[in-house]
Amino acid sequence: QLVLTQSPSASASLGASVKLTCTLSSGHSSYAVAWHQQQPEKGPRYLMKLNSDGRHSKGDGIPDRFSGSSSGAERYLTISSLQSEDEADYFCQTWGTDIVVFGGGTKLTVL
Amino acid sequence: EVQLLESGGGLVQPGGSLRLSCAASGFTFSSYAMSWVRQAPGKGLEWVSGISGSGDSTYDADSVRGRFTISRDNSKNTLSLQMNSLRAEDTAVYYCAKDPVEQWRGYFDSWGQGTLVTVSS
């Protein structure tokens, strides 16, 4: 079964960096994921598509502070030089034959 | 600039029906697959239904299959979701989302702002 696992919460200080993790279920380590940001009371915003080899393509207007990387079944979203507006929920998402799966999301708090 | 504007949400009784719409602009609508994704209050995202750019192929989550119908009018740049036999657990904000290609894959590169559907007596 295709499942994405994310930690429920993360925190980091203003100006620091944070690395969020999305883990693919066993047997699905070759899958690409997409990362989306959801600020409070807003709709989601597409950040990037991240392949299993670490190559990623970002959405229009996404700052260079946002980057992605991969290792095995892990897909990472790294945000550097954290700003207050980065405080949001971050969802990873993947897709298969006639199916779409979202991770449970990570709530990022900027201290 | 891609813009997706949902409408049609509201309060409906259990067993009732509702039709959502999504007005698209800023891109060639017929060239891209589209989906509906929902988010129950305080919960995560759940994909609901998808449709190819031509409208020839549709896809539904198990939770809504047989009750919800996705469709599109490429002449009016509009995506729709007909929701029948609504249940309390269908209460959510419903988002319109765009695929980056014509053939539906379920990978979203643009989102709308959502419309709230509340199913309650």
- Cα–Cα distance, A94 to A99 (Å, whole number): 9
Task: Compute the nearest-CA separation of B35 from chain A (Å).
Answer: 10
Note which residues in 86-105 of chain B have CB less than 8 A from chain A. 95, 97, 105
Mean pLDDT in residue range B8-13: 98
pLDDT at position A82, please? 97
Instruction: Compute the distance between CA of residue A92 and CA of residue A7 in angstroms, rounded to an integer.
Output: 11
Distance from CA of B48 to the nearest CA of A (A): 9
* CA proximity to A31, closest of A78, A101, A107, A90: A101
What is the pLDDT averaged over residues A28-55?
A: 96
- Which residues of B are less than 8 Å from A50 in CB distance? none
Confidence category of residue A98, pLDDT binned at 50, 70, 90: confident
* pLDDT at A97 > cutoff 90: no
Whole-angstrom Cα distance, residue A88 to residue A18?
13
CB contact under 8 A, B95 and A44: yes
pLDDT of A27 reads 94
Range A21-38 average pLDDT? 96
Tokens standing for residue B26: 């800023």
Residue A108 pLDDT: 98
* Cβ burial, residue B82 (10 Å; 0-12/13-18/19+): middle
CA dihedral (B117, A99, B64, B57) positive or negative: positive
Could you read off the pLDDT of B82-111 as tens digits, one per residue?
999 999 999 999 999 999 999 999 989 999
Dump pLDDT digits (tens) for B32-88.
Answer: 999 999 999 999 999 999 999 999 999 999 999 999 999 999 999 999 999 999 999
User: How many Cβ atoms are within 10 Å of B65's Cβ, its own excluded?
Assistant: 11
Euclidean distance between CA atoms B100 and B94, whole angstroms: 20
Substitution target from A31, A46, A100 for chain B, most B beta carbons within 10 A = A100
- The tokens for A75 are 């897909």
Q: Report the alpha-carbon distance of residue A2 to residue A16 in Å, rounded.
A: 33
Separation between Cα atoms, residue A62 and residue A100, nearest integer Å: 23
Average per-residue pLDDT in chain B? 97
Per-chain mean pLDDT for chain A: 96
Q: Is B68 helix (H, G, I), strand (E, B) or coil?
A: strand
Alpha carbons B76 and A2: distance in angstroms, whole number = 36
- With CA atoms as reference, report the closest residue to A7 among A17, A19, A16, A20: A20
Query: Closest Cα partner for A37 from A7, A66, A15?
Result: A66
B113 vs A: CB within 8 A: yes
